[in-house]
Amino acid sequence: MESSVTALEMRKKFGSILDRVVKKGEHVTIMRGHLALAVLIPVKEHEKQCLDKDRLRTVDEVLAEVDVWKRAHPSKAKRLSKSDAAAEVRAMRERRWSS
């Protein structure tokens, strides 16, 4: 079952809405005006949808794919191996937050 509540109603009736989600498995969409802001769903369903262990790839699988890419793109792989990945990530984060 799915229902929607306003953000104000959510604030006023949080406990009872939370009970509906937990006990009845209801999905509750939180609205502000005509805009859906969030959806409250049971934890078990969240785990099934987002944290499903069968869908997660293992590190070995990812590394195998990286090795295949490196063999297919040797010049790019050589250039990337010279760069500092941590420094590159920090620089991207700084650019993102400074914009």
- Residue 2, pLDDT score: 83
Whether 61 and 33 share a structural domain: no
Whole-prediction pTM: 0.51
Counting DSSP H helices and E strands in the chain, the numbers are: 6, 3
pLDDT single digits (tens) 16-75: 999 999 999 999 999 999 999 999 999 988 888 776 665 666 777 878 888 898 889 888
Whether 29 and 45 share a structural domain: yes
Q: Spell out the residues 6+ positions from residue 20 whose beta carbon is closer than 8 angstroms to its own.
A: 3, 26, 28
Whether 66 and 46 share a structural domain: no
The range of the structural domain enclosing residue 10 comes to 2-50
- Residue 10, pLDDT score: 94
Could you tell me how many residues make up the chain?
99
Q: Which CATH number do you get for residue 46?
A: 3.40.1620.10
d(CA 9, CA 32): 10
Given pLDDT bands bounded at 50, 70 and 90, which one contains residue 96?
Answer: confident
Whether 62 and 23 share a structural domain: no
- Residue 5, pLDDT score: 95
- Residue 72, φ and ψ in degrees, nearest 5: -80, -25
Partnered with residue 6 across adjacent β-strands are: 31
Whether 45 and 18 share a structural domain: yes
Count structural domains, the chain: 2
pLDDT above 70: residue 99:
no
Average pLDDT (80-85) is 76
- Residue 26, pLDDT score: 95
Whether 44 and 28 share a structural domain: yes
User: Among candidates 5, 9, 2, which has minimal Cα distance to 25?
Assistant: 2
